[in-house]
Amino acid sequence: MSELATLPGLESVESAPKRDHLVSHGPEGRLMLFTGRSNPDLAQKIADQLGIRLGDVKLKTFANGEVYCRYRESIRGADVFLVQSCAGMGVNDALVELLVMIDAARLASANRITAVMPWYPYSRQDKKSAPREPITARLIAGFLEAAGADRVLTMDLHAGQIQGFFSIPVDHMTALPLFAQYYRDKGLFGEHVVAVAPDPGRGKMTTRFAEFLEADVAYMSKTRPEHDVAEVTEVVGRERVNGKAAILSDDLIVTGTTLISGAQALLDAGATEVYACATHGLFPPDALTKLGESELAEVTVTDSVPQDELNAPANLKVLTVSPLLANTIQNVFSGESVSEIFAGENQLF
């Protein structure tokens, strides 16, 4: 059995003994971290990792639904990082709130504004799949740039070409090493494990995941008769699945239909048990119920979007991505390489 080792990107940022509301960098540089209302718990964890306090910002919604923002401390000349997952309070509400925060920071003379978006909204609408459809992921990129963002930090995009929709830098992080470390710690690695791609589009990512786990690779073929509905048609590489623990990996889970039908197909192909992991768990309430009643041994997601762990099913596990985000923010602020955090393995498309 291979030696268990910490994979790249999972080292924590060492916390300072005394907390302030900013990190000083040279005579002028200041790092200031603010959060929107979509995922304040994650923002607080990031602040804890960095050893600072969250900045003071007033956010409220007027009676007619409009968003108000005011920074209650000076951010002039600071490197401002705005954490907003764009989930947890309504995708569109969270997105508009982030745009308002960016604009307010620009008008307050922030030196550089970085939108920290663990989940990038509308990421599945990255191309035209039918006539007269929008490419909404590109539209969102235009919104962020027009508002005044200088940089975007995001995690496990649905498609690599989304980075090309921007004319500003995009730092792409991945939770793949985090999941790999979690499964290795559970003893799920080596020749008795197979990493499974839910569709051919995840093939390259799953191959790298399998390398982390020193496991074999299998693929699934699926069709989508309608939005948010998936049907698995076959398992490609059934002989690699038989007698092994299968781990399905994806970038996001919404309804869970892909995982549930995939788990049944893998068990029919001879898998001893089926696990699933995805960076972004965008669960409607009925999806959690279905996952809890499914054949999946465990479903693992991150806190890139807020999770209701109190009402979650017993087979749902939530990992925090705050160390990855804190490391990335620190490196962006200090002008160091982001890809080195992941040993160059953060561009997996």
Q: Does the annotation mark 222 as catalytic?
A: yes
How far is the CA of 8 from the CAs of 179, 184, 241, 252, in angstroms?
A: 12, 14, 28, 22
Catalytic residue among 60, 222, 244, 317: 222
> Amino acid identity of 147?
A
- Strand-pairing partners, residue 152, are 115, 170
Alpha-helical segments (H) within 214-253: 238-241
Q: Tell me the C-alpha distance between 7 and 3, whole Å.
A: 12
Phi/psi at 315 (nearest 5 deg)? -95, 15
Q: Tell me the C-alpha distance between 164 and 170, whole Å.
A: 9
Supply the DSSP string of 322-345, one letter for each residue. HHHHHHHHHHHHHT--SGGGGTT-
- Write out the catalytic residue numbers: 222
